[in-house]
Structure 1
């Protein structure tokens, strides 16, 4: 019986270090140093667009801090605001996929 517990303990110890494989990384850019969350691919949703809230979340990941305006066009959200230094920034996000089209 002790032999089975020992085997189970060794198997559990071997599998535990593999669990936290999605770790944050650092990015150094014009906005300074920031933590970057691992990008998790979303499954495509047929006939459904991302919400304005999701567009703002994606724009914040690109460096936007304060949101001033959100415009919706046929194929994209345009989120306008300022970055952490107070510079104006405009992020275009695809409405279907959530991909960042441009950052101005």
Structure 2
């Protein structure tokens, strides 16, 4: 939560509790149009305080588990994606990175989640 508040430029009390941080975060979202990406969520409880309740804000939550509890409490839509194969992952990297940069890193050091 602290990193999000910092990114939003919100001054905050370092000793604030979770409820105060959550309140400051929600206030900072008011009146803004933001896309918030919450990557590798562990469970619903981890992301609930970070989900925007403000019109104009949207959150994309990724994770290895289906967070079906969010469909009930936050009207979330669940989209299941298959993992990329190693070849698809390499092709993805090749399209986005400079070829020299990709070649400079031995393939056994490239962290691919397959």
TM-score, L = length of structure 2: 0.22
Greater gyration radius: 1
Between Structure 1 and Structure 2, the one with more strand by share is 1
